Amino acid sequence: MSMAKATGAVTLLAKGIPMLFMGEEAGEDQPFAFEMAGMSDQDAYCDLDHYVDPTTQNAQVLHWFRDLIDLRRNTDNGFTWDDRPYVGRGNKTLAFTRADGRFFVIATFGTPDVVQNLGWLGLPAQDTYKEIFNSTWQPYAVSKETPANNGGYDATLTASSTINIPSIGAVVLEKR
């Protein structure tokens, strides 16, 4: 479920047209049947209650996707075709800017380095940022995730700051 949130952040916030396979937006891990055989086998079909019940991990991943989709589709946020993102990286970590540096996205894919320097990841040196999304926050957190809070909307993060990041997950910063 954590990996679904990390890959979702990259898919939804990177430059280009987001492409998702059905079920990815809720961390679905059951295969989809493409034929009508076995309709009486309950295990062959998705349990849609997992998407609706807010206490399930699938619902928490779906909430994460919905909030990121809302961020991207808001035209005032500047996710345009002519945006030239800067891409940085760390140990099993991808970082990139969007909207001409207004947003800085960090996605991790199993990094052991859960404390990283923002300058090393490529945060623009002249700007100050706040944390607007973190995949370990409630209501996005799934089991076995350690909270990796960095001050949220009150944060004052610069290229010289170190931040806590999840081993698998994502953090989105916005320029102050």
Q: What is the pLDDT along the chain (176 residues), one digit of tens a residue?
A: 999 999 999 999 998 887 776 667 777 766 666 665 666 666 666 666 667 787 888 889 999 999 999 999 999 999 887 788 888 888 999 999 999 999 999 999 999 999 999 999 999 999 999 999 999 998 899 988 888 889 999 999 999 999 999 999 999 999 99
Residues 2 and 110 sit within 8 Å (Cβ to Cβ): no
Burial of 127 (0-12, 13-18, 19+ CB in 10 A): middle
Q: DSSP secondary-structure letter at 35?
A: S
With tokens 């700051």, the residue in question is 161
Distances (CA, A) of 81 to 66, 76, 94: 21, 14, 21
What are the backbone dihedrals phi and psi of residue 111, each rounded to the nearest 5 degrees, phi first? Answer: -70, 140
At 175, the amino acid letter reads K
The reported pLDDT for the residue numbered 118 is: 96
| pTM to 2 decimal places | 0.88
Distance of CA 131 to the CA centre of its chain: 13
Report how far apart the first and last C-alpha atoms of the chain are (Å, whole number): 30
Spatial separation of the C-alpha atoms in residues 175 and 62, rounded to whole Å = 26
Name the H helices within 21-167.
49-52, 57-73, 118-121
